[in-house]
Amino acid sequence: MVLLELLWSFVKIGFTSFGGLSMIPLISDEMLSHGWMTALEVSDIVAIAEMTPGPVGLNCATFAGIRAAGLAGAAAANLGVLLPSLTLCAAAAVFFARVKDSELVQNMMVGVRPACFGLICATVLKLGATNYSGPALPATAAIGLLDVLLLLKLRWSVPRVLAVSALLGLLLVH
């Protein structure tokens, strides 16, 4: 029952990771021990996950699922990795909706909001450090600056900005 194995593997991955690149070691372990991917494919999937929309977790689930058992495998693996969102997060949402107007939670949120804001700002710098380095540097920095202008001054939508950036990448990066 490769479908059940896929489902169970990704349930484990989903419940024990907190999104993004923190999933990679877990995914790598599960993929290698089941023989669903080689070590090289795991590093490729990280690159693919960055190239395509969607988070690393879902993309790995699809890739490994298709390799192991076709489309049904992909569906099973996606379901597994999304199970925390569908259960734990659902419970948290119901709970949070009840308590969010209480004084205690409101007081906590006064600190959680700026902490989350600080985290977002740190993410910008971390991503910037990796995405604006290497041989393509002058071009990527120029695209980045233009995008800041398009987003903040001209209020362009995210899809339009991504399309323009991809086009500029084709034209400017050699």
Partner 1 sequence: MEPTELPSREKKQGEAEQGPAEAPLAMPKTAPPREDVTPLQLFWEFFKIGCFTFGGGWSIVSQIEQNYISRRQWMTSQELLDLTSVGRSLPGVMIGNVSFLFGYQIGGLRCGYACVLGIALPPLLILTFVTTMYSMLQGNPYVLHAMTGVRAAVAPIILSAAAMLRKGALERPACWAVAAGAFLLSLRYNVGSVQLVVLGMAAGLAVSWWDKRRGGRPHGAA
The pair of structure tokens assigned to 115 is: 């902490």
Identify the CA nearest to 130 among candidates 40, 32, 17, 20. 20
Decide: is 25 part of the binding site for partner 1 (CB under 8 A).
no
3-class secondary-structure state, position 26: helix
Query: Residues 107-126 vs partner 1: string with x where CB under 8 A?
Result: xxxxxxxxxxxxxxxxxxxx
Decide: is 8 part of the binding site for partner 1 (CB under 8 A).
no
Among 6, 7, 9, 17, binds partner 1 (CB under 8 A): 17
Give CA–CA dist 49/16, Å, rounded: 20
CB of 153 to partner 1, least distance (A): 10
Decide: is 40 part of the binding site for partner 1 (CB under 8 A).
no
CB of 57 to partner 1, least distance (A): 4
Residue 71's contacts (CB-CB under 8 Å, 6 or more residues apart) are 65
**How many residues bind partner 1, per CB under 8 A?**
99
